[in-house]
Structure 1
Amino acid sequence: MTTPLRSGLIAAALALILDQASKLWLLFVFDIGHRGTVNVTPFFDLVLAWNTGISYGWFQTDSPAGAAILLAIKAVAVVLLAIWMARSHTLLATTGLGLIIGGAIGNAIDRFAYGAVVDFALFHLRFAGKTYSWYVFNLADVAIVAGVIALLYDSFFGKSAAKAP
């Protein structure tokens, strides 16, 4: 197994393990469902949100058929990303793809186990009497975003990008 592929597999495994461990701990040890919103800092809270859609809550569905369709789409995406990762030649792109795969599998496990994705991290800013919030997210989402950033960086500034006409 080549070094870039190994790093992609390790990134996928770490993203998946950290994501699932954080969610299991929050749900069953910390019991966030009964605690409600937990203020961690003036700009960060832990809050339980069940996302029945895809990224940023798009395509919300409560039906079993809708959940099955989202799982099928995610499975196809993971297979295609794994093929891309196996063919990738740069460490950064392969690691980025591994992060995306690990995050996608982590959220798919939630959808299969609970019927929705467990989101819990909420950044917010209070200014002039109003609260401005970002979407509630989880570590799988962080891994996916980091993986996309790695792919973009590799595409624009990597060795292959430097050689492109």
Structure 2
Amino acid sequence: WHYVLEELFGRVTAVSCVTATHVPERVDEANHPYAATADDAAYGIFELDSGVIAQINSSWAVRVYRDELVEFQVDGTEGSAIAGLRNCRVQHRALTPKPVWNPDLPATEDFRAQWAEVPDNEEFDNGFKVQWEAYLRHVVAGEPFRWDFLAGARGVQLAELGLRSAREGARVEVPELRS
């Protein structure tokens, strides 16, 4: 998710990561059980040069209880947004309710209903397809390509540093790569 963080919020300067194998035994296509040899979840905290702290978790062991398979929630001082691949909802600070928490009473507010849907201004094509088409135009026609080798190297660097953080159980600084 490096490119998402970098494109939207800024350069990642540090990472803290934990990996886990929540399902230690799996079943193959022939219905034979086997011991898992790969983690099925990663939990990361990313510090960005913009001051943003991002938390991302990704797991094959999660049962979906959200509107889309992938959603990004961004919370800021002026409001929040939840964006998926198809839809986006927002809640401005001025419209944020101030419920009183009482553990002795059930919540009576429909918190989801208090978010506003962001209307689409146009129909968007599959983002992965759009990027591949731009890359192919770059290769064949020499058109500029926004994501260069260095951008790819930053993504690989962050993945490796995330694994290092998980192995060592420590926060890891992300050195800036330059061409």
TM-score band (shorter)?
under 0.3
Q: Which has the higher helix share?
A: 1
Q: Which has the higher strand share?
A: 2
Which protein has the larger Cα radius of gyration, Structure 1 or Structure 2? 2
TM-score (norm 1): 0.24
TM-score (norm 2): 0.22
